[in-house]
Structure 1
């Protein structure tokens, strides 16, 4: 009897040790959730970065990001204007779903609707500590519109654009959380301030999964380079502020390296829209792309974009697939084991397979719709083909003398010079059907402001 009991006890102990070892091995294999940082420039054009071909602006840190990660060559922002673009980034939805115009002002009655589920809120649900340092521009007249009420644990920054100043507008506040730190702050110090806040946050939360959203005020006019950068660039003041942004990128990446976080942090660098060309030398460059900010030509919405995650994203990789800021929401959630909301129209797609092509995952391709200044569709892209059904330019240029529709093969003609609509009527009809289908989807899914009014 004792012998049988001892044998049974021994078997139980062996089984317990095996189960514990197995669970321990599984826990070791399970990778921790990656930290996530989004670096979001304001009005930086496709051609304003060294790795995208600018001949004189020096951006060694962004260039190094590209060398160590993935450069996107067909990456779009959700809108060619500030507010609408930021809405799309943080919600994964086209700006037509916002319920407000494409630019909010200090006295605008609306802001991001409380029922929107921001990327920050979604990541908090997965255990992330979240912070935002920089330009918000999604509403400021009510407390419920501000970052702290929309998923961010910490916030320091301007609530709207740095050009909305007295005497035309009220004093612009520099906010910390919901409180005003100071009015009309010295803008030459903002890029450094946001950078230092991000560095402090990284150091304070290196044991936890964190999300940092850093939307720079630069290179939006008025241009305010820090003292260390003023007059240093061969491209004038515009180049000065871009080179300071590049310095900021370098500081953040170096902080990750020094704290042993670089192998577990995904950093994504991009811009909210194309360059503000009507500002002349104070505006940027779209490179070989036509037009800029405010337009649905390529220069208004195709922007520089680099993803960096050492050891995960293949070095020196280039991706030319159709991608957008609206894709970041579902992509980042998929990386942390989250899911996108199912109770609303979601527009972005999961592009994680582009970041990690060796894992043999597929991307569900979708057409991309270019929404213009009145939240209507101006153009659509599917594969290499782009169809314009209406056009607009802040430069007041009618490039094709009222000729519509316009069809371009962007792989062969990224500058949109050669209208192929007459040669390919079948493609024109196919893309017109895509626009009609999108309009029907939106009509069947009203924005939250419309829903709350009924």
Structure 2
């Protein structure tokens, strides 16, 4: 081969390697069913989350971060940059016995990142398809997956129970290390996931950038016979929390916050914290009552998980990076879970794909500029409701479940004696010490920043509006974030305009399978008492 050609090839390889090695690492952490009022940077001292808080207060916390109100739709949207209803993944979440998944012809975020030279790893929850091998994380762009494929599992036994008719309740093991059931693993699952995540960071080959997604089980409820699970010694640390149920949730959140601290410390120990983007979000609002109740609280926001009200869709979110210029450490622009794919790709210098719903928000967050997003849609053709946010206004149509659409959580706020010191919690946290060692010591006088997140309203002051198939509810969510006052009669033209926009958007949806189909061939007793794939890959879709 000609020397000039050899030299050119070596130069190209060197430039490519340099471009890859200089890309920022990404660590994306999902909490599961964590409510607006379950993180202390939103203003409450009942449950302290100092590690999460410090990432927001020294990075950028979001005042108006939105997601789909259910876990399968929100994860589908994150991975694709598309609304769940454009994927057929809207509505009630996937069961482990259901043959439904993210379409295999959709390109996912880890696939984009692999093309950009990233090592890609998922620790924890998947929940976007597990009936066939082609639906699993290692077939969708992840180099490895250690975790659960469904919506939740027992925190110690790693089992999931589902009810079939007429069979009854069945149970199976649900923790996997890639394609192998992880029978030999022991421990509280939040700790187990933390250990695996920090091990991946420790052993990462820095010749390529790292994408690590951590989908915690916490604080989602477990099987119905034992909804809330936490180590007894941690529960005892929460004795200031009045109600036993809320005390258990507080302990689960405490372990989650500890995990965030350990992951940040692992990045420091590895020497890559300065070149890492860290994101922490909840997948949807908390489940204060009803099925899979975990006593999370979205107070004072109205509604819970599985509802289109603010408590179901307006959730905790933040981003941390040394490359952020937003010195206010706060961003009040609209951001939706679909925006992460284009935003993260932009942050690492990759081209943003066309044909998605997400908007690149990196520069707006970075420079504390107004959001590029003015409209947010929510369409659930399973339950039968829709909503649209347009500027400061929100319209809700259809028939969302009323039991999930009220103001809940006021009774969960009780504290025995005095709440723990927020300042002490901050200065004794892992992330506080990491920032000090990192040369970015946090000034506790800046703790007043969390006042920007506080929402106050009198949830008993108005007769609240419920929509129907004939009526709508219209709220000014900037002035009335708790959705107390219906304005549809005051602004009929705006209500009609927003309703028409929502109807036009609904016409673009891919209908969801209704009802959910439970395949008896998936029963764990047929597969060594594990929840595993039971169908061949669908060659017609490839």
How would you bin the TM-score normalised by the shorter chain? 0.7 to 0.9
Q: CA deviation at 1:230?
A: 3.3
- Measure, in 1, the Cα distance between the counterparts of 2:95 and 2:59: 37
Question: How many positions carry a matched residue from both structures?
Answer: 415
Q: Corresponding residue for 1:140?
A: 130
Distance change in 2, residues 1:397/1:80 (3 Å): closer
Distance change in 2, residues 1:269/1:143 (3 Å): same
Q: Corresponding residue for 1:318?
A: 330
| 3-state SS of paired residue (1:47) | helix
- Measure, in 2, the Cα distance between the counterparts of 1:266 and 1:28: 19
Q: CA deviation at 1:227?
A: 5.5
Q: Corresponding residue for 1:110?
A: 100
Query: Which of 257, 271, 280 in structure 2 is aligned with 1:260?
Result: 271
| 3-state SS of paired residue (1:201) | helix
Query: Which of 92, 96, 117 in structure 1 is aligned with 2:85?
Result: 96
| 3-state SS of paired residue (2:398) | coil
Q: Corresponding residue for 1:178?
A: 179
Query: Which of 387, 395, 411 in structure 1 is aligned with 2:478?
Result: 411
Q: How does 1:238-317 map to 2 (within 5 A)?
A: 238-278=249-289, 282-317=294-329
Q: Corresponding residue for 2:395?
A: 387
Instruction: Map Cα deviations across residues 244-299 of structure 1 (whole Å, 9 max, x no partner).
Output: 00000001111112222222111110111111121598320102210101100110
- What stretches of structure 2 of length at least 5 have no aligned partner? 1-13, 154-159, 163-167, 223-227, 242-246, 407-463, 512-539
1:400 aligns with 2:389: no
| 3-state SS of paired residue (1:161) | coil
Would you say the 8 A contact 1:92–1:346 is kept in 2? yes
Would you say the 8 A contact 1:128–1:210 is kept in 2? yes
Q: How does 1:209-220 map to 2 (within 5 A)?
A: 209-220=209-220
Would you say the 8 A contact 2:35–2:285 is kept in 1? yes
- Measure, in 2, the Cα distance between the counterparts of 1:213 and 1:29: 22
C-alpha RMSD of the superposition:
2.8
| 3-state SS of paired residue (2:38) | coil
Q: Corresponding residue for 1:372?
A: 380
Q: CA deviation at 1:32?
A: 1.7
| 3-state SS of paired residue (1:37) | strand
- Compute the TM-score of the two structures, normalised by the length of structure 1: 0.84
Distance change in 2, residues 1:103/1:118 (3 Å): same
1:357 aligns with 2:367: yes
- Measure, in 2, the Cα distance between the counterparts of 1:363 and 1:396: 29
Farther off after superposition, 198-207 or 98-107: 98-107
Would you say the 8 A contact 2:286–2:294 is kept in 1? no
Q: CA deviation at 1:402?
A: 4.8
Distance change in 2, residues 1:216/1:401 (3 Å): closer
Distance change in 2, residues 1:394/1:115 (3 Å): farther
Q: CA deviation at 1:228?
A: 5.1
- Measure, in 2, the Cα distance between the counterparts of 1:312 and 1:95: 30
Q: CA deviation at 1:29?
A: 11
- Would you identify which runs of 4 or more consecutive aligned residues in structure 1 move more than 6 Å? 27-31
Query: Which of 232, 235, 253 in structure 2 is aligned with 1:230?
Result: 235
- Compute the TM-score of the two structures, normalised by the length of structure 2: 0.71
- Measure, in 2, the Cα distance between the counterparts of 1:394 and 1:225: 31
Query: Which of 491, 494, 500 in structure 2 is aligned with 1:427?
Result: 494
Distance change in 2, residues 1:267/1:394 (3 Å): farther
Q: CA deviation at 1:337?
A: 2.7
Instruction: Map Cα deviations across residues 72-128 of structure 1 (whole Å, 9 max, x no partner).
Output: 111111x21121111111111111122345311111012222111111111111000
Would you say the 8 A contact 1:130–1:151 is kept in 2? yes
Would you say the 8 A contact 1:53–1:287 is kept in 2? no
1:130 aligns with 2:120: yes
1:334 aligns with 2:359: no
Distance change in 2, residues 1:330/1:160 (3 Å): same
Would you say the 8 A contact 2:281–2:315 is kept in 1? yes
- Measure, in 1, the Cα distance between the counterparts of 2:221 and 2:256: 14
- Measure, in 2, the Cα distance between the counterparts of 1:172 and 1:30: 39
User: Highest Rg: 1 or 2?
Assistant: 1
1:81 aligns with 2:96: no
